[in-house]
Structure 1
Amino acid sequence: MARSSAFTVRVKGMTELQRNIRKLKSRELSASVRAANKSAAEVMKPEAESTAPKGRRDAKSSRRYRPGKLAKSVGVTASAKGAAVKAGSAARVPYAAAIHFGYPKRGIRPNRFLYRAMARKSDAVSETYEREISAVVRQHLEGD
């Protein structure tokens, strides 16, 4: 049930920057770009956690169901190529995709809390990313 994101931030010149990073073969530069990607994605994480459905436990709930597990599972992954904010895991929160994208056969309507969080925080993410990448370029490529 994996689907790609409806929100993507495209950065002009990012492909060239990635190519140059690979050519330079600098682990320090690559780590700095990864950190910049991660810090930009971290801006969205609190919003996603706060808007994630908390649910409630009732008499018919499974023993494994614990309200709030979906919100606690929101995390950020980053690499030199980009970053992603994800929720759920196959082992701990297997129902995350069904909650986010819906499951019509089970009567579960979609609750796209990750998309809404990105829509609300897209300006802050862009500003943070621009600031962080500019600092990396100044530090590593301009020789400051």
Structure 2
Amino acid sequence: MTGKSLIEVKGASQLARTLRKAGADSKDLRNVNKKAAQVVVPAAQGRVPVRSGALQRSIRAGATQKAGVIRAGKKSVPYAAPIHWGWPGHHIKPNTFLTDAAKQTEPAWVDIYNEEIQKIINQVQGE
């Protein structure tokens, strides 16, 4: 049982294309996305159920040029998705710690996007 949660920033692809055409470095966009995603990690770690702590320690931020990503689980922690989304057949109720943390921290990561994208725009404009 797997699931994905997505909080989409509308226009992110168009912004990336526009900034690329204007001479912005694609690493700048990836860095902005990672910085915003990192805001969510501590909030998610505080919401996740803890037995051994392995799931909590597996929560991490990643990024591409187009998106910031918060991941939980890995090969040694394969139960992240069933804990997050639930698994009715095994009597596991959902605990949407990642999506709840993203919603809770939204004002902070939106501010980061606003500030950092403005910095990139200013660099492109030569300010």
Q: TM-score higher than 0.5 here?
A: yes
Counterpart in the other structure of 1:59 = none
CA contact (8 A) 2:16 2:29 kept: no
Decide which structure has greater helix share: 2
TM-score (norm 2): 0.90
Q: Find the aligned partners of 1:8 and 1:113 in 2 and give their Cα distance.
A: 14
Kindly provide the amino acid, as one letter, of the partner of residue 101 in structure 1: W
Residue 93 of structure 1 aligns to a residue in which SS? coil
Residue identity (%): 35
**Letter of the structure 1 residue corresponding to residue 33 of structure 2:** N
- Of 84, 100, 104, 1:120 maps to 104
Q: Deviations over 1:100-136 (max 9, x none)?
A: 1111111111111111111111111111111111111
2:115 maps to which residue?
Answer: 131
User: Counterpart of 1:34 in structure 2: which amino acid?
Assistant: R
Aligned to 1:61: none
Number of residue-to-residue matches in the alignment = 127
Query: Which letter maps to 1:136?
Result: I
CA contact 2:60–2:70 (8 Å) conserved in 1: yes
- Quote how far apart the aligned CAs of 1:22 are: 4.4
Unpaired segments ≥5 residues, structure 2? none
Matches within 5 A, 1:13-92: 13-23=11-21, 29-55=25-51, 67-89=52-74, 91-92=75-76
Structure 1 unmatched ranges of 5 or more: 56-66
Q: Which residue of 1 aligns with 2:2?
A: 2
Structure with greater Cα Rg: 1
Runs of 4+ more than 3 Å apart:
21-24
